[in-house]
Amino acid sequence: MNRQDPMTPRKEEALASSCLGGEPKRPLPDGWRWVRLGEVIAEAQPGFACGARDPEGVIQLRMNNVDTRGNLIWDKFIRVPADEETVSRYRLVSGDVVFNNTNSTELVGKSALFTGYVEPVVYSNHFTRLRVVSDSLFPEFLAYSLLLEWQARTFENLCNRWIGQSAVKNDKLLALEIPLPPLSEQKRIAGVLREQMGAVERARAAAEAQRTAAHAIPAAYLRAVFNTPEAQAWPRRRVAELCDRINYGYTASADFTVAEPRLLRITDIQEGRVAWQQVPGCRIDAEDEAAHALADGDIVFARTGATTGKSFLIRQPPRAVFASYLIRLRLTGEMLPDFVYAFFQSPDYWRQVRENVRGAGQPNLNASLLGAMTVPVPPLADQQRIAARLAGQMAAAERLREGLEEQLEALAKLPASLLRRAFSGELRCDGDALRC
């Protein structure tokens, strides 16, 4: 695209309502103005499609090479055949901004600044390469502008939609208006954002690593119980020998107009919890309800699908029954439900699931297979001691995990906050300090 003739600057009050994030126009700091991207973009060049692959070819950026935080991802790229003319036409140079013009509705509009690579890089037709008018727009400032627009769902609102994908056409992209400070201020703002966004990204990566480690803690606690020489010396019994019953759930449709009994389904069990107040009711006669009623200490298992073998310990349930894709295990008095449930989270149990659960199209756990699995049976006093210790350890691990989730949630909000402040003129850089 050729550079467009600059539009005559207009007063902010006279501009149309379309602007950053789709919000109404707002007063700008002195020296700032609203501009359409077409005024400050020298070139908007779509990429090229190529279905072929060539291990010796040129790197071609695809949709998965740009994340939702404005970063280029280099660990998974493809190579395509391309002649010198194609590489010359579509090669990225430092300062180019790649705009993801075609993607799902939620992801269309992802963008990133290209700062160079060790070898030539081109881009697919799902991207548009933006090159700025260098005396009007700083490339990094543009990249941050587009990131805020994406976060504000601007591109989701203005894209053309088809089944399976959406697209932002060049004319709509170049008609978009952004607040533009003087070039020196753009560079200063971009520098502040680079520093602050980098700090947020480092904190996010550290929290992600801590969360990954936190997820491994429960398994370590379980191994410390069930993989010890002491545990190896415990007698083992078949599950069927330790139960009053193993039975399948009730086949019924959920009915949200019925308060009780509630019908517990696989989908109601999330992260080892059930929000009973959100579980629907069902219509069931008294005999069937008595046969399928859940009681404190019952353990239910997912019979099929991706969660096959996962279990849940019922504690102080409301009036409730369980649905047909669950199996209910009710133990005898010689086994403590908390201890047995802990074992059902252990690597030993999951090894048995992998070895025994079968199914032609998908895994399937039935009562016979569950009943044939073996469980360690230490003395009841040892079960109580172990269950109490594990309960404390698991609760501490869960608090750690929840704290890290809250930290990640807070960190996820920071970039949007920084960007909103930056593009409303609220960020000032005083040496190394950030002042709002």
What would the pLDDT profile of 211-231 be if each residue is shown by its tens digit? 999 999 999 999 999 999 999
In tens, the pLDDT along 280-292 reads 999 999 999 999 9
The domain limits of the chain are 12-181, 235-377
Exposed, middle or buried: residue 285 (CB in 10 Å: 0-12, 13-18, 19+)?
A: exposed
Identify the CATH homologous superfamily for domain 235-377. DNA methylase specificity domains (3.90.220.20)
Task: Please tell me the distance from the alpha carbon of residue 430 to that of residue 357, in angstroms, as a whole number.
Answer: 64
Strand (E) or helix (H) holding 112:
strand 111-113
Residue pair 112/97 in contact by the 8 Å Cβ criterion: yes
Give the pTM: 0.71
Task: Please tell me the distance from the alpha carbon of residue 239 to that of residue 376, in angstroms, as a whole number.
Answer: 10
Average pLDDT value for residue range 367-382: 94
**Strands across the sheet with 102-103, in order?**
102-103, 165-167, 160-162
Strand (E) or helix (H) holding 89:
helix 84-90
Under the banding of pLDDT at 50, 70 and 90, the label for residue 21 is very low
Predicted confidence (pLDDT) at residue 436 exceeds the cutoff of 60: no
CATH number listed for the domain at residues 12-181: 3.90.220.20
Please name the residue that has the structure tokens 């005024």: 39
Predicted confidence (pLDDT) at residue 405 exceeds the cutoff of 60: yes
Exposed, middle or buried: residue 197 (CB in 10 Å: 0-12, 13-18, 19+)?
A: buried
Under the banding of pLDDT at 50, 70 and 90, the label for residue 424 is confident
Predicted confidence (pLDDT) at residue 362 exceeds the cutoff of 80: no
Q: Which range has the worst mean pLDDT, 34-38, 128-132, 252-256?
A: 252-256
The interaxial angle of helices 183-226 and 139-151, nearest 10 deg, is 60
In tens, the pLDDT along 141-158 reads 999 999 999 999 999 999
Domains 12-181 and 235-377 belong to one CATH topology: yes
**Per-residue model confidence (pLDDT) at position 435:** 43
In tens, the pLDDT along 104-153 reads 999 999 999 999 999 999 999 999 999 999 999 999 999 999 999 999 99
Under the banding of pLDDT at 50, 70 and 90, the label for residue 430 is very low
Task: Please tell me the distance from the alpha carbon of residue 256 to that of residue 320, in angstroms, as a whole number.
Answer: 14
CA 244, distance to chain mean position in Å, is 41
**How does the average pLDDT of the chain come out, rounded?**
90
Predicted confidence (pLDDT) at residue 356 exceeds the cutoff of 90: no
In tens, the pLDDT along 181-221 reads 999 999 999 999 999 999 999 999 999 999 999 999 999 99
Strand (E) or helix (H) holding 172:
helix 170-175
Q: Is 330 helix (H, G, I), strand (E, B) or coil?
A: strand
User: 127 vs 46, 63, 103, 168, 270, CA distance in Å?
Assistant: 6, 8, 10, 10, 38
Exposed, middle or buried: residue 323 (CB in 10 Å: 0-12, 13-18, 19+)?
A: buried
Please give the backbone phi and psi of residue 35, each rounded to the nearest 5 degrees, phi first: -135, 150
Q: Beta-carbon neighbour count of residue 386 at 10 Å?
A: 20
Average pLDDT value for residue range 316-334: 93
